[in-house]
Amino acid sequence: MEIIENLKVKEKLYIEKLENGLTVMVIPKKGMQKKYIIWGTNYGSNESSFIVPGETEVTTVPDGVAHFLEHKMFEQENGRNSLDVLTEIGVSANAYTTNDHTAYLYECTDHFYEALDEFMNYVQHPYFTDENVEKEKGIIGQEIMMYDDYPDWKVYLNALQAMYHKFPIRLDTVGTIETISKINKEILYKCYNTFYNPSNMAMVISGDFEPEKIIEEVKKRLIETKANGEIKRIYPEEPESIVKEKVTQNMEVSRPLYAIGIKDKPITCNSGSKDEIVKKHIAIEILMNLIFGESSKLYKDLYNKGIISASPSMDYEFSRGYAHILISGQSNNPEEVYQALKNEIKEMQEKGINEADFNRLRKSLYGDYVKEYNDVTDIARMFLADYFKGINSFEYIEQIMLVNKEYAEQILKEVFNENSMVLSIVAM
């Protein structure tokens, strides 16, 4: 077992890679009542073309399979739904699918090990039939139609489609009515056997646990499976250019929604680039707050004019093959917000960054990172998502003070490129 200690947040990470390839991470929280476990597979909605270990031909499956699999995993051969079973035990269970991973989880204060039996059983025992697959198509079809009517989702998805020509990040995670109609039990089993192999999975546990003991409990409940070889993931070649700068959709909204995207070059995480990726992410978070955070000149100006009424949501999203900034919110005049943002970026690129503001926001961001270690949910989700990107979450704490004003100015010029910007609007 490997032990990584971070003295800045006074936390220890215990990591063990099991014989079957599964990576188990434990972050003990002495005295914490809540316990949290998340088990994820390095498989999300972007993986529609791949080469199965041991094969040579490319397998291509319909869009939406990863999400479909997540839905189907709870249904068991005994007729019970494992989500219902876990609820009856008294734990709060859930699952989710993103572009790059799928995860199953539960949290509780009591009955952890009783729930662990059911949890580890259903994730390792898929049960797909022609009948239950067809039934699920109707359920997911309703979910797709619901998202089609959801303005916040459409303004986000439209921004992605304005940025990306071919890369599957531009597609809805759940697929479409047409693509899910092509899913059958054989496709589900093939994707399960390929991506749900322990060597492509990781588990994170946080709470008041003895690391060695909880890992032994996990081992007891694992079925005998051999580690697979490497899965070759096939992605389309994505141009650096955007598709179009502006997209507008009319929907029933009380106030126009906007999403401003800035397309970045895709990043890869290997041993040589890991620190650089973390530093870049930190720099972009600081820059977003310098440009449009609540203490920024731009935010105060737009707020005082009544153009915006709340601080925007700002995120840097990246994984295998894609990276972009998204800034979203509500405004009576999204075009004015967009133009003001471009002007502010240009002015900051020309004049440089105010060092006092930079240091203040870097200190604030450091505080936010530290706070994440107060909650077992935040800890576990963070370590799982970062692990699948090739990053140890402690790196953010370690690297933040190495990000200086000069480096941030370099990233400001490289990433915040006007030619890579798009505006998505949903309005009446």
The catalytic residues are 70
Integer Cα distance of 176 and 275 in angstroms: 38
